A and B are shown apart, each in its own frame.
Chain A
Protein backbone atom coordinates (compact mmCIF):
# COMPACT_ATOMS: atom_id res chain seq x y z
CA UNK A 1 0.00 0.00 0.00
CA UNK A 2 1.34 3.42 -1.02
CA UNK A 3 1.30 6.54 1.18
CA UNK A 4 1.84 9.11 -1.56
CA UNK A 5 -0.95 9.49 -4.14
CA UNK A 6 1.56 9.71 -7.03
CA UNK A 7 4.57 7.81 -8.38
CA UNK A 8 7.85 8.81 -6.76
CA UNK A 9 11.52 7.83 -6.72
CA UNK A 10 13.79 7.42 -3.70
CA UNK A 11 14.93 11.06 -3.64
CA UNK A 12 11.32 12.33 -3.85
CA UNK A 13 10.41 10.18 -0.84
CA UNK A 14 13.41 11.31 1.20
CA UNK A 15 12.70 14.95 0.31
CA UNK A 16 9.00 14.73 1.20
CA UNK A 17 9.84 12.83 4.38
CA UNK A 18 12.37 15.44 5.55
CA UNK A 19 9.98 18.32 4.66
CA UNK A 20 7.20 16.71 6.71
CA UNK A 21 9.62 15.89 9.52
CA UNK A 22 10.74 19.52 9.84
CA UNK A 23 7.16 20.84 9.69
CA UNK A 24 5.98 18.37 12.34
CA UNK A 25 8.86 19.32 14.64
CA UNK A 26 8.10 23.05 14.36
CA UNK A 27 4.37 22.57 14.89
CA UNK A 28 5.08 20.20 17.78
CA UNK A 29 7.32 22.76 19.49
CA UNK A 30 4.68 25.46 18.98
CA UNK A 31 1.56 23.58 20.09
CA UNK A 32 2.22 20.12 21.62
CA UNK A 33 5.49 20.32 23.54
CA UNK A 34 3.69 21.52 26.67
CA UNK A 35 2.05 18.09 26.90
CA UNK A 36 4.45 15.71 25.16
CA UNK A 37 8.26 15.92 24.71
CA UNK A 38 9.82 16.56 21.29
CA UNK A 39 11.41 13.09 21.30
CA UNK A 40 7.98 11.62 20.56
CA UNK A 41 7.79 13.72 17.39
CA UNK A 42 11.33 12.72 16.39
CA UNK A 43 10.65 8.98 16.85
CA UNK A 44 7.25 9.25 15.13
CA UNK A 45 8.51 11.17 12.11
CA UNK A 46 11.58 8.92 11.76
CA UNK A 47 9.29 5.91 11.70
CA UNK A 48 7.11 7.69 9.11
CA UNK A 49 10.19 8.55 7.02
CA UNK A 50 11.33 4.92 6.93
CA UNK A 51 7.80 3.80 6.04
CA UNK A 52 7.57 6.44 3.30
CA UNK A 53 10.94 5.45 1.80
CA UNK A 54 9.96 1.76 1.76
CA UNK A 55 6.37 2.03 0.51
CA UNK A 56 6.48 5.30 -1.45
Chain B
Protein backbone atom coordinates (compact mmCIF):
# COMPACT_ATOMS: atom_id res chain seq x y z
CA UNK B 1 0.00 0.00 0.00
CA UNK B 2 2.80 2.37 0.97
CA UNK B 3 4.65 1.54 -2.24
CA UNK B 4 1.52 2.30 -4.26
CA UNK B 5 1.12 5.66 -2.51
CA UNK B 6 4.75 6.52 -3.24
CA UNK B 7 4.20 5.56 -6.87
CA UNK B 8 1.11 7.81 -7.09
CA UNK B 9 2.96 10.76 -5.55
CA UNK B 10 5.95 10.09 -7.77
CA UNK B 11 3.76 10.25 -10.87
CA UNK B 12 1.99 13.37 -9.66
CA UNK B 13 5.16 15.18 -8.55
CA UNK B 14 6.25 16.65 -11.95
CA UNK B 15 2.76 18.08 -12.60
CA UNK B 16 2.44 19.42 -9.06
CA UNK B 17 5.89 20.98 -9.31
CA UNK B 18 5.04 22.65 -12.65
CA UNK B 19 1.69 23.89 -11.33
CA UNK B 20 3.41 25.33 -8.28
CA UNK B 21 6.21 26.91 -10.32
CA UNK B 22 4.05 28.53 -12.99
CA UNK B 23 0.84 29.03 -11.01
CA UNK B 24 1.53 29.65 -7.35
CA UNK B 25 4.99 31.26 -7.39
CA UNK B 26 4.01 34.18 -9.73
CA UNK B 27 0.96 34.92 -7.56
CA UNK B 28 3.14 35.03 -4.44
CA UNK B 29 5.63 37.28 -6.26
CA UNK B 30 2.80 39.61 -7.39
CA UNK B 31 1.48 39.68 -3.83
CA UNK B 32 4.95 40.65 -2.66
CA UNK B 33 5.39 43.32 -5.38
CA UNK B 34 1.98 44.86 -4.64
CA UNK B 35 3.31 46.12 -1.31
CA UNK B 36 6.11 48.12 -2.98
CA UNK B 37 6.56 51.16 -5.14
CA UNK B 38 8.73 49.69 -7.84
CA UNK B 39 9.84 51.16 -11.13
CA UNK B 40 12.51 49.09 -12.89
CA UNK B 41 14.17 52.21 -14.33
CA UNK B 42 14.17 54.09 -11.05
CA UNK B 43 17.43 54.52 -9.14
CA UNK B 44 15.61 54.26 -5.84
CA UNK B 45 14.68 50.60 -6.35
CA UNK B 46 11.90 48.99 -4.35
CA UNK B 47 10.26 51.12 -1.67
CA UNK B 48 7.90 49.47 0.80
CA UNK B 49 4.50 51.22 0.75
CA UNK B 50 2.22 48.68 2.46
CA UNK B 51 -1.42 49.01 1.37
CA UNK B 52 -0.79 52.25 -0.58
CA UNK B 53 -1.04 50.66 -4.04
CA UNK B 54 -4.53 49.38 -3.22
CA UNK B 55 -5.37 52.79 -1.72
CA UNK B 56 -4.39 54.34 -5.05
CA UNK B 57 -6.34 51.66 -6.93
CA UNK B 58 -9.75 52.32 -5.34
CA UNK B 59 -9.47 56.03 -6.20
CA UNK B 60 -8.11 55.53 -9.72
CA UNK B 61 -10.94 56.78 -11.95
CA UNK B 62 -9.32 55.40 -15.13
CA UNK B 63 -9.10 51.94 -13.63
CA UNK B 64 -12.64 52.05 -12.27
CA UNK B 65 -13.88 53.18 -15.68
CA UNK B 66 -12.06 50.32 -17.42
CA UNK B 67 -13.46 47.90 -14.87
CA UNK B 68 -17.00 49.13 -15.51
CA UNK B 69 -16.40 48.90 -19.25
CA UNK B 70 -15.00 45.38 -18.88
CA UNK B 71 -18.00 44.25 -16.86
CA UNK B 72 -20.37 45.74 -19.46
CA UNK B 73 -18.44 43.83 -22.13
CA UNK B 74 -18.76 40.60 -20.13
CA UNK B 75 -22.52 41.07 -19.61
CA UNK B 76 -23.15 41.91 -23.28
CA UNK B 77 -21.01 39.10 -24.71
CA UNK B 78 -22.26 36.38 -22.36
CA UNK B 79 -25.84 37.70 -22.61
CA UNK B 80 -25.78 37.28 -26.39
CA UNK B 81 -23.47 34.28 -26.83
CA UNK B 82 -25.32 31.91 -24.51
CA UNK B 83 -28.91 32.31 -25.85
CA UNK B 84 -27.57 32.38 -29.43
CA UNK B 85 -25.45 29.29 -28.79
CA UNK B 86 -28.39 27.46 -27.23
CA UNK B 87 -30.58 28.35 -30.20
CA UNK B 88 -28.02 27.17 -32.78
CA UNK B 89 -27.28 23.97 -30.80
CA UNK B 90 -31.00 23.22 -30.72
CA UNK B 91 -31.34 23.85 -34.44
CA UNK B 92 -28.41 21.52 -35.05
CA UNK B 93 -30.31 18.67 -33.39
CA UNK B 94 -32.64 18.78 -36.44
CA UNK B 95 -31.75 16.97 -39.64
CA UNK B 96 -31.25 19.18 -42.71
CA UNK B 97 -29.18 19.26 -45.89
CA UNK B 98 -25.67 20.69 -45.45
CA UNK B 99 -25.70 20.27 -41.66
CA UNK B 100 -22.18 18.80 -41.62
CA UNK B 101 -20.82 21.61 -43.79
CA UNK B 102 -22.50 24.24 -41.61
CA UNK B 103 -21.02 22.66 -38.47
CA UNK B 104 -17.53 22.63 -39.98
CA UNK B 105 -17.72 26.27 -41.13
CA UNK B 106 -19.20 27.31 -37.80
CA UNK B 107 -16.29 25.85 -35.82
CA UNK B 108 -13.61 27.47 -38.00
CA UNK B 109 -13.22 30.63 -35.84
CA UNK B 110 -12.36 28.40 -32.88
CA UNK B 111 -9.36 27.01 -34.73
CA UNK B 112 -7.92 30.48 -35.23
CA UNK B 113 -5.64 32.32 -32.83
CA UNK B 114 -7.24 35.44 -31.27
CA UNK B 115 -4.46 37.65 -32.64
CA UNK B 116 -5.24 36.40 -36.19
CA UNK B 117 -8.91 37.12 -35.65
CA UNK B 118 -8.03 40.63 -34.49
CA UNK B 119 -5.94 41.33 -37.59
CA UNK B 120 -8.57 39.83 -39.88
CA UNK B 121 -11.29 42.08 -38.42
CA UNK B 122 -8.98 45.10 -38.61
CA UNK B 123 -8.86 44.58 -42.36
CA UNK B 124 -12.62 43.96 -42.56
CA UNK B 125 -13.33 47.12 -40.57
CA UNK B 126 -10.74 49.36 -42.20
CA UNK B 127 -12.60 52.57 -43.20
CA UNK B 128 -10.59 52.89 -46.46
CA UNK B 129 -10.31 49.32 -47.79
CA UNK B 130 -12.59 47.25 -45.54
CA UNK B 131 -15.72 45.72 -47.11
CA UNK B 132 -17.96 46.31 -44.06
CA UNK B 133 -17.54 50.14 -43.93
CA UNK B 134 -17.76 50.15 -47.76
CA UNK B 135 -21.19 48.49 -47.86
CA UNK B 136 -22.43 50.40 -44.82
CA UNK B 137 -21.43 53.65 -46.53
CA UNK B 138 -23.60 52.60 -49.47
CA UNK B 139 -26.47 52.33 -46.97
CA UNK B 140 -25.69 55.81 -45.67
CA UNK B 141 -23.94 54.70 -42.46
CA UNK B 142 -20.50 56.09 -41.75
CA UNK B 143 -18.60 53.30 -39.99
CA UNK B 144 -15.20 54.07 -38.52
CA UNK B 145 -14.03 52.26 -35.40
CA UNK B 146 -10.99 54.50 -35.17
CA UNK B 147 -13.18 57.57 -34.59
CA UNK B 148 -16.56 56.51 -33.22
CA UNK B 149 -16.36 55.13 -29.62
CA UNK B 150 -19.78 53.42 -29.71
CA UNK B 151 -19.01 51.68 -33.00
CA UNK B 152 -15.62 50.57 -31.65
CA UNK B 153 -17.17 49.15 -28.49
CA UNK B 154 -19.89 47.24 -30.33
CA UNK B 155 -17.38 45.98 -32.89
CA UNK B 156 -15.32 44.37 -30.11
CA UNK B 157 -18.53 42.79 -28.78
CA UNK B 158 -19.41 41.55 -32.26
CA UNK B 159 -15.95 40.07 -32.81
CA UNK B 160 -16.07 38.27 -29.47
CA UNK B 161 -19.52 36.87 -30.28
CA UNK B 162 -18.36 35.77 -33.72
CA UNK B 163 -15.29 34.10 -32.25
CA UNK B 164 -16.76 32.36 -29.21
CA UNK B 165 -20.39 31.48 -30.04
CA UNK B 166 -19.19 28.27 -31.81
CA UNK B 167 -17.56 27.18 -28.56
CA UNK B 168 -20.86 27.71 -26.72
CA UNK B 169 -22.68 25.79 -29.47
CA UNK B 170 -20.24 22.87 -29.19
CA UNK B 171 -20.57 22.59 -25.40
CA UNK B 172 -24.37 22.80 -25.63
CA UNK B 173 -24.41 20.19 -28.39
CA UNK B 174 -22.36 17.87 -26.19
CA UNK B 175 -24.78 18.54 -23.33
CA UNK B 176 -27.84 17.97 -25.52
CA UNK B 177 -26.51 14.66 -26.86
CA UNK B 178 -26.04 13.42 -23.28
CA UNK B 179 -29.62 14.17 -22.18
CA UNK B 180 -31.89 11.17 -21.39
CA UNK B 181 -34.55 10.26 -23.99
CA UNK B 182 -37.36 9.28 -21.57
CA UNK B 183 -38.56 12.81 -20.57
CA UNK B 184 -38.85 13.73 -24.27
CA UNK B 185 -40.84 10.59 -25.08
CA UNK B 186 -43.13 11.26 -22.11
CA UNK B 187 -43.63 14.89 -23.24
CA UNK B 188 -44.45 13.66 -26.77
CA UNK B 189 -47.09 11.29 -25.37
CA UNK B 190 -48.53 14.15 -23.27
CA UNK B 191 -48.82 16.32 -26.39
CA UNK B 192 -46.27 19.00 -25.47
CA UNK B 193 -45.22 21.35 -28.28
CA UNK B 194 -41.60 22.18 -29.21
CA UNK B 195 -41.44 25.31 -27.07
CA UNK B 196 -42.83 23.51 -24.00
CA UNK B 197 -40.32 20.69 -24.45
CA UNK B 198 -37.50 23.23 -24.71
CA UNK B 199 -38.69 25.39 -21.79
CA UNK B 200 -39.64 22.64 -19.30
CA UNK B 201 -37.33 19.76 -20.23
CA UNK B 202 -34.26 20.85 -22.20
CA UNK B 203 -33.35 24.01 -20.26
CA UNK B 204 -33.71 22.50 -16.73
CA UNK B 205 -31.78 19.37 -17.72
CA UNK B 206 -29.11 21.45 -19.42
CA UNK B 207 -28.71 23.85 -16.47
CA UNK B 208 -25.35 22.45 -15.22
CA UNK B 209 -23.91 22.67 -18.77
CA UNK B 210 -25.27 26.23 -19.20
CA UNK B 211 -23.73 27.33 -15.90
CA UNK B 212 -20.38 25.68 -16.66
CA UNK B 213 -20.26 27.35 -20.09
CA UNK B 214 -21.19 30.68 -18.52
CA UNK B 215 -18.41 30.16 -15.97
CA UNK B 216 -15.81 29.59 -18.71
CA UNK B 217 -17.08 32.48 -20.85
CA UNK B 218 -17.12 34.97 -17.95
CA UNK B 219 -13.50 34.15 -17.14
CA UNK B 220 -12.43 34.40 -20.79
CA UNK B 221 -14.37 37.57 -21.60
CA UNK B 222 -13.18 39.34 -18.48
CA UNK B 223 -9.55 38.93 -19.50
CA UNK B 224 -10.06 39.57 -23.24
CA UNK B 225 -6.94 41.08 -24.77
CA UNK B 226 -5.60 39.96 -28.16
CA UNK B 227 -8.58 40.71 -30.40
CA UNK B 228 -9.25 44.09 -28.82
CA UNK B 229 -5.57 45.01 -28.82
CA UNK B 230 -5.36 44.27 -32.55
CA UNK B 231 -8.67 45.95 -33.37
CA UNK B 232 -8.60 49.18 -31.40
CA UNK B 233 -5.71 49.01 -28.87
CA UNK B 234 -8.21 50.30 -26.31
CA UNK B 235 -9.29 53.32 -28.37
CA UNK B 236 -10.66 55.60 -29.62
CA UNK B 237 -9.88 57.41 -26.39
CA UNK B 238 -10.74 54.91 -23.70
CA UNK B 239 -13.84 53.46 -25.42
CA UNK B 240 -12.54 49.87 -25.52
CA UNK B 241 -9.94 50.08 -22.78
CA UNK B 242 -10.95 46.95 -20.90
CA UNK B 243 -9.15 46.01 -17.70
CA UNK B 244 -6.47 43.80 -19.27
CA UNK B 245 -5.73 46.45 -21.93
CA UNK B 246 -5.58 49.13 -19.23
CA UNK B 247 -3.18 46.98 -17.23
CA UNK B 248 -0.83 46.31 -20.14
CA UNK B 249 -0.83 49.97 -21.17
CA UNK B 250 -0.03 50.97 -17.61
CA UNK B 251 2.85 48.52 -17.33
CA UNK B 252 4.28 49.50 -20.74
CA UNK B 253 3.90 53.25 -20.25
CA UNK B 254 4.63 53.96 -16.61
CA UNK B 255 6.62 50.82 -15.69
CA UNK B 256 5.05 50.92 -12.26
CA UNK B 257 5.32 47.27 -11.37
CA UNK B 258 4.10 47.62 -7.79
CA UNK B 259 0.87 49.37 -8.73
CA UNK B 260 0.31 47.08 -11.72
CA UNK B 261 0.78 44.06 -9.43
CA UNK B 262 -1.86 45.42 -7.08
CA UNK B 263 -4.16 45.87 -10.06
CA UNK B 264 -3.61 42.34 -11.37
CA UNK B 265 -4.12 40.97 -7.88
CA UNK B 266 -7.42 42.80 -7.66
CA UNK B 267 -8.48 41.37 -11.04
CA UNK B 268 -7.49 37.89 -9.90
CA UNK B 269 -9.54 38.46 -6.77
CA UNK B 270 -12.59 39.52 -8.79
CA UNK B 271 -12.27 36.53 -11.13
CA UNK B 272 -11.90 34.10 -8.21
CA UNK B 273 -14.95 35.55 -6.42
CA UNK B 274 -17.09 35.40 -9.59
CA UNK B 275 -15.96 31.82 -10.30
CA UNK B 276 -16.56 30.76 -6.72
CA UNK B 277 -20.10 32.15 -6.81
CA UNK B 278 -20.78 30.36 -10.09
CA UNK B 279 -19.25 27.11 -8.82
CA UNK B 280 -21.55 27.30 -5.80
CA UNK B 281 -24.50 27.75 -8.19
CA UNK B 282 -23.33 24.83 -10.36
CA UNK B 283 -22.89 22.45 -7.44
CA UNK B 284 -26.24 23.45 -5.92
CA UNK B 285 -27.99 22.94 -9.28
CA UNK B 286 -26.30 19.54 -9.68
CA UNK B 287 -27.47 18.54 -6.20
CA UNK B 288 -31.00 19.62 -7.13
CA UNK B 289 -31.16 17.51 -10.34
User: Which residues of A approach B to under 8 Å, CB–CB?
Assistant: 15, 19, 22, 25-26, 29-30, 33, 38
6 contacts between A and B (CB under 8 A): A15-B276, A19-B269, A25-B51, A26-B57, A29-B51, A29-B54
CB distance from B31 to the nearest CB of A (A): 11
**Closest Cβ–Cβ distance, residue B267 to chain A (whole Å):** 13
Decide yes or no whether B59 CB sits under 8 A from chain A.
Answer: yes
Q: Mark B54-70, 1 if CB is under 8 A from A, else 0.
A: 11011100000000000
Which A residues are CB-close (under 8 A) to B59?
Answer: 30
Known: A19-B269, A22-B269. 18 other contacts (CB 8 A): A15-B276, A19-B272, A19-B273, A19-B276, A25-B51, A25-B54, A26-B54, A26-B57, A26-B58, A26-B266, A29-B51, A29-B54, A29-B55, A29-B58, A30-B58, A30-B59, A33-B55, A38-B51
How big is the B interface, by class?
10 to 19
**Chain B 37-89 interface residues, beta-carbon cutoff 8 Å to A:** 51, 54-55, 57-59
The 7 closest A-B pairs by CB, nearest first: A30-B58, A29-B55, A29-B58, A26-B58, A19-B273, A22-B269, A26-B54
B256 CB to nearest chain A CB (Å): 18
Contacting residues, chain A, for B269 (C-beta < 8 A): 19, 22
- In Å, the complex CA distance between A54 and B241 comes to 44
Chain B residues positioned under 8 Å from A19 (CB to CB): 269, 272-273, 276
CA distance A38 to B272 in the complex (A): 24
Shortest B60–chain A CB gap in Å is 11
Residue of A nearest to B52 (CB): A29
> Considering only CB atoms, which chain B residue lies closest to A19 in the complex?
B273
CA distance A56 to B216 in the complex (A): 29
User: Within 8 Å CB of A38, what residues of B?
Assistant: 51
